[in-house]
Amino acid sequence: MAERSRTRPIPDPQAPRSAAQPRPFEPFRRTLEKARQPVLTTHVNADGDGAGSEVALALYLARLGVNAAIVNPTPFPETYAFILGDLAAWSSRDEEGRKALERADLFVALDTSEPSRLGDVYAAMRDRPVAVLDHHPATPESIGDPAVRDPLACATGELVYDLILSAGERPTPREAEALYVAIATDTGSFRFANTSDRTHEICAELLRAGVDPQAMYRRLYGQVTEGRLDLLRRALAGLEQDPEWPLSWITLRREDFHASNAASADLEGIVEYARRLRGIEIAVLFRELPDRSTKVSLRSNGDADVAAIAREHGGGGHQKAAGVHIRGPLDAASAAVLASARRALHLKGLGPLKAGDLEE
């Protein structure tokens, strides 16, 4: 989840550019430096921020003489494998991954601190220290001590960048590339509300460290597969708009996945098509999973709080980007979530649309 609304203090023009924000990195750094065989991990279905943050941190730790293993609850995403270079990344199901989990003397969770988002890796964490670096707000279930959490950071990558800066260091070219992946993907290529002046200042530093934005764009977005395009075609065919409320949704059934030969990663960004429809305040993507449960992604364009909608059904997230996994069949799940969404819109005085609202 990438978006949230934010307010930032007006920057002091005398302040040094790109100075690290005062964040309590010291306990976190001391814990890392003491570790001998730490495991870095992120949430299930790692996104660019989770993957980029753990790669940047692994590279930085190597500079400090700490040999960290990357072990995620699900396989490291293909799209971002290019930032690994000579680093290995395992899933908790791999033999090597299991061994690394067994011998870990510290876990570092990046971009999440929710047990439910850590899959099998959470089971391995029991009785061992877990440090957290995350830009999601803490919930009652959040783990991690020490934890550096800053919901104002545009990405967890921003926190890894600041960790490096807080030691008076600069990112190396490879660290910069991984951090750029984290920040560029989590800000929707610098378009989402979490994009700040500081986001661009950090990326300016990353470009100075050697990142080539054109090459990165090709790597990140110029690799569309036929499966992804076919899934997109099906998603657009299934795009619906509420006749009264500023609400749109896309439904993808199991058959859509089978027929298109698409992977889970191909879903990334598809909800944005519903969100971009003119006049829409809330967009939703419903995806039927193989076990006939339903995954729901919610996006808000304005004041409506989609995290509250997700929480009503047992999920969570940010005000503008949230999600929930519902153990019920697609049609019931979508009816329930859409009803909550209409209530959330009503609460904010958004809609129902008056005739003509969508016309110029």
Question: Of 52 and 97, which has the nearer Cβ to Mn ion?
Answer: 52
Note the helical H segments in the chain. Answer: 26-34, 48-63, 95-103, 119-125, 156-166, 173-186, 197-208, 213-221, 226-237, 254-260, 271-275, 306-312, 330-347
Contact between 146 and 28 under an 8 Å Cβ cutoff? The reply is: yes
Question: Of 46 and 250, which has the nearer Cβ to Mn ion?
Answer: 46
The reply to whether 186 sits near Mn ion by the rule CB under 5 A is: yes
Cα end-to-end distance, the chain, whole Å: 32
Distance CA 129, CA 145 (A): 7
The distance from CA 2 to its chain's CA centroid, rounded to whole angstroms, is: 5
Q: Contacts with Mn ion: how many residues (CB under 5 A)? A: 5
Point out which span in 29-37, 86-94, 105-113, 253-261 binds Mn ion (CB under 5 A).
105-113
Residue number closest to Mn ion, CB atom: 49
CB of 302 to Mn ion, least distance (A): 21
Residue from 130, 134, 128 nearest 43 by CA: 134
The reply to whether 111 sits near Mn ion by the rule CB under 5 A is: yes
Question: Of 198 and 342, which has the nearer Cβ to Mn ion?
Answer: 198
- Residue of the chain from 49, 54, 205, 256 that contacts Mn ion (CB under 5 A): 49
CB of 326 to Mn ion, least distance (A): 23
Point out which span in 29-37, 46-54, 217-225, 237-245 binds Mn ion (CB under 5 A).
46-54
CB of 230 to Mn ion, least distance (A): 28
Question: Of 156 and 334, which has the nearer Cβ to Mn ion?
Answer: 156
Point out which span in 44-52, 220-228, 335-343, 351-359 binds Mn ion (CB under 5 A).
44-52
Q: What is the DSSP string of 277-301?
A: STT-SEEEEEEE-TTS-EEEEEEES
Distance CA 288, CA 286 (A): 7
The residues with which 108 forms a beta bridge, in sequence order, are 40, 131
Question: Of 186 and 256, which has the nearer Cβ to Mn ion?
Answer: 186
CB of 155 to Mn ion, least distance (A): 5
CB of 57 to Mn ion, least distance (A): 14
**Phi and psi at residue 320, to the nearest 5°:** -105, -5
Question: Of 171 and 246, which has the nearer Cβ to Mn ion?
Answer: 171
Residue from 166, 162, 208 nearest 182 by CA: 162
Structure tokens given for 291: 């076990």
Distance CA 256, CA 28 (A): 44
CB of 2 to Mn ion, least distance (A): 6
Point out which span in 18-26, 96-104, 181-189, 218-226 binds Mn ion (CB under 5 A).
181-189
CB of 348 to Mn ion, least distance (A): 25
Contact between 66 and 40 under an 8 Å Cβ cutoff? The reply is: no
Site for Mn ion in 119-158 (CB under 5 A): 155-156
Point out which span in 97-105, 186-194, 220-228, 333-341 binds Mn ion (CB under 5 A).
186-194
Specify burial of residue 328 (Cβ count, 10 A radius: 0-12, 13-18, 19+). Answer: middle
The residues with which 240 forms a beta bridge, in sequence order, are 249
3 state DSSP class of 127: coil
Point out which span in 9-17, 45-53, 161-169, 229-237 binds Mn ion (CB under 5 A).
45-53
The reply to whether 162 sits near Mn ion by the rule CB under 5 A is: no
The reply to whether 205 sits near Mn ion by the rule CB under 5 A is: no
Question: Of 106 and 155, which has the nearer Cβ to Mn ion?
Answer: 155
CB of 216 to Mn ion, least distance (A): 17
Structure tokens given for 110: 């990046």
The reply to whether 54 sits near Mn ion by the rule CB under 5 A is: no
Question: Of 310 and 330, which has the nearer Cβ to Mn ion?
Answer: 310
Applying CB under 5 A, which residues contact Mn ion?
Answer: 49, 111, 155-156, 186
